[in-house]
Structure 1
Amino acid sequence: MADTASSYVQIDGVGKVYPSPRGDVVALQDINLDIASGEFVSIVGPSGCGKSTLLKCLAGLEPISSGSAVVAGKHLAGPPDSLGMVFQRDVLLDWRTILDNVLLQAEFLRLRRSDLKGRAAQLLQRFGLGGYEERYPWELSGGMRQRASICRALLCDPELLLMDEPFGALDAMTRDDLNLELTRIWQGSAKTVLFITHSITEAVYLSDRVVMMSRGPGRIVDVIDIDLPRPRPLAIRESAEFGAYTQRIRHHFAELGILKE
């Protein structure tokens, strides 16, 4: 459990309602969650449970209907400072080179491109995209495009990284590779990460805590501490300790009628 006094993100009674002519749609109800500075937290749950909505609210892309959210000591009233976000799709601009796509983050923040060009090149090299700086997105595979989008989110070294199921459309080997690289970067930078995934295995592997959500309306039903040593090799997924965590989460979802055992 995160210590509220040292929390980087504090979510207190957050609700989100979408008005509709056929009646209001309650997407989130009474969400309470504290995330410590430097903590890696994943959210798992069925489609339609509000995972992405919660992330958009924290990114300042959607207004909160009720409750409050505090990020780095400031009440949320728009995109928080020092934010990086990775979406389900890479959302790269096809008319810009890969390097220019990564540097787009600098332009948004009105920073000098020349000051960050070296860091952009280093990130691309680290994510296996060295030599592709002048290529265009349509020349790259889906996995390579998503790597570039992660580089863009990391360009300005954000304190908070929000990731909305970034690896869901990738093949298993590419997904494993990016899981490893993401954990290396996180452990070397002490970023606070909130990660959405449909994969229970991925959530357990990456996280300090796994938040379970259920739909109708979207709410938190459990938060599970993951007490596994770091760094974590991929082989840890074959251990009995790892399997106990995934089984516990699956069993809880089965009790809620979300999964079949």
Structure 2
Amino acid sequence: MNMIANRIADTYLQVRGAGKTYPSKHGSVVALSDINLDVRLGQFNSIVGPSGCGKSTLLKCIAGLENITSGNITVSGKPLIGPPDRMGVVFQRDVLLDWRTILDNVLLQAEFLGHPREQYRDRAMQLLERFGLKGYEKRHPWELSGGMRQRASICRALLCDPDLLLMDEPFGALDAMTRDDLNVELARIWQGTNKTVIFITHSISEAVFLADRVVMMSRGPGRIVDMFDVDLPRPRPLSVRETDPFGVYAQRIRHHFAELGVLHE
């Protein structure tokens, strides 16, 4: 535990008083209100909340893909202006290009950043092997299952070894067994690196299993209503979800959302 505590001691990302308002013909829509969040270097944060609470909007703002309308965001002490350096993003949909092979889809990240493809070819192949896609590098996305496609999209996000990994419900559309498998592999990847991760999910169990800290959001408008550290030893086998300590964390989230009228107990 001391090694983990030392690794995540430094603040990497700060969100202060952030708000996001969208104009519409029926009046302004407040998507986010007074968001305050400190993310430590190397920390795995899960953000959980109901549909429409602004989780994805917050992630897009942190990614520099949307501008906040109030407050500020800093990364490594610098104001966020556009996408931060050394960032990888995984969306709920894999957004692979069907006319490119799986290897070429993974290498697209290097091309996008202006790096030579061949410089990253070996790393791409290593990532594909690690995520169970060895032998599929010359296939096209339409030849793969949904789970395999999402594995490829994670490889693409990891290709250039980002410091910050943003994941917007990446496993939401997958079957339960594939989702469990990718949860375990993502946890292994995180433990072997110093990546700072922000992971959006609707799943309470997934949020607790993966995270150092769980951030809870509620709608009307989107706001943070609670956050807490998850003190469960790592590595975490899937069986940890059947233990009493895990159940206490999960029940805390359910109870809080029930009090807000989001869930029924």
Same fold (TM over 0.5): yes
Q: Distance in 2 between matches of 1:222 and 1:37?
A: 20
- Structure 2 counterpart of 1:249, one-letter code: I
Q: Does 1:93 align with 2:97?
A: yes
Runs of 4 or more above 3 Å deviation? 1-5
The two structures have a TM-score, normalised by structure 2, of: 0.97
Contact 1:4 1:10 in 2 (8 A): no
State the secondary structure of the residue aligned to 1:10.
strand
Deviation of 1:6 (Å): 1.9
Deviation of 1:193 (Å): 0.1
Deviation string, structure 1 residues 96-132 (Cα, Å, up to 9, x no partner): 0000000000000000000000000000000000000
Q: Does 1:201 align with 2:205?
A: yes
- Structure 1 counterpart of 2:183, one-letter code: N
The two structures have a TM-score, normalised by structure 1, of: 0.98
Which residue of 1 is the match for residue 148 of structure 2?
Answer: 144
Deviation of 1:76 (Å): 0.5
Q: Distance in 2 between matches of 1:149 and 1:57?
A: 21
Q: Specify every segment of 5 or more residues in structure 2 that has no aligned partner in the other structure, as ranges.
A: none
Which residue of 2 is the match for residue 135 of structure 1?
Answer: 139
Pair 169,200 (structure 1): closer, same or farther in 2 beyond 3 Å: same
State the secondary structure of the residue aligned to 1:190.
coil
Aligned counterpart for 2:123 among listed residues 116, 119, 123: 119
State the secondary structure of the residue aligned to 1:132.
coil
Which residue of 2 is the match for residue 188 of structure 1?
Answer: 192
Contact 1:179 1:206 in 2 (8 A): yes
Q: Distance in 2 between matches of 1:47 and 1:109?
A: 32
Alpha-carbon RMSD across the aligned residues, in angstroms, is: 1.5
Which residue of 1 is the match for residue 63 of structure 2?
Answer: 59
Q: Matched residues, percent identical?
A: 75
Which residue of 2 is the match for residue 28 of structure 1?
Answer: 32
Which residue of 2 is the match for residue 256 of structure 1?
Answer: 260
Q: Does 1:158 align with 2:162?
A: yes
Deviation string, structure 1 residues 122-170 (Cα, Å, up to 9, x no partner): 0000000000000000000000000000000000000000000000000
Q: Distance in 2 between matches of 1:5 and 1:172?
A: 34
Q: Specify every segment of 5 or more residues in structure 1 that has no aligned partner in the other structure, as ranges.
A: none
Pair 48,203 (structure 1): closer, same or farther in 2 beyond 3 Å: same
Which residue of 1 is the match for residue 244 of structure 2?
Answer: 240
Pair 2,89 (structure 1): closer, same or farther in 2 beyond 3 Å: farther
Paired residue total: 261
Q: Distance in 1 between matches of 2:194 and 2:7?
A: 16
Which residue of 2 is the match for residue 210 of structure 1?
Answer: 214
Q: Does 1:104 align with 2:105?
A: no
Q: Distance in 2 between matches of 1:192 and 1:227?
A: 18
- Structure 1 counterpart of 2:259, one-letter code: E
- Structure 1 counterpart of 2:13, one-letter code: V
